[in-house]
Each structure stands twice: as C-alpha cells, then as structure tokens.
C-alpha cells in the first residue's frame, strides 16, 4: 500500500515531470519506480 506522498510522486511522474525520491531503506522508493515503469 502506497502512502499519500508515494501516490503524489507517482502522479507527478505520470504527468512527465521529474521527482527526487529519497528516504531510508524500506521507505518504498523502488516500489514507486516499479509502479511507474509498469
């Protein structure tokens, strides 16, 4: 389950804009990128 911030980042990516994903291990950075790629 993605957090609100992850959903916002994904929405921004889908609009064609750049985002900077940062956070500790296990925060879902790779999960967001995989969702975008699919």
The model carries a pTM of 0.77
Q: Could you state, in order of their start, the residue ranges of all structural domains in the chain? A: 4-37
Supply the pLDDT for residue 29: 93
Whether the per-residue pLDDT at 23 is higher than 70: the answer is: yes
Q: Are 19 and 13 in contact (CB under 8 A)?
A: yes
- Residue 18 gets the label, from left (phi > 0), alpha (psi -120 to 50) or beta, of beta
- State the CB neighbour count (10 A cutoff) for residue 9: 22
pLDDT tens for residues 3-18? 999 999 999 999 999 9
Mean of the pLDDT values across residues 9-28?
95
> What mean pLDDT is reported for the chain?
92
* Cα angle value 5/38/27 (rounded, 5°): 35
């Amino acid at each position: 389950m993605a957090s609100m911030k992850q959903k916002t980042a994904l929405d921004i990516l889908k609009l064609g804009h750049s985002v900077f994903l940062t956070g500790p291990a296990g925060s879902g950075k790779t999960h967001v990128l995989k969702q975008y790629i699919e």
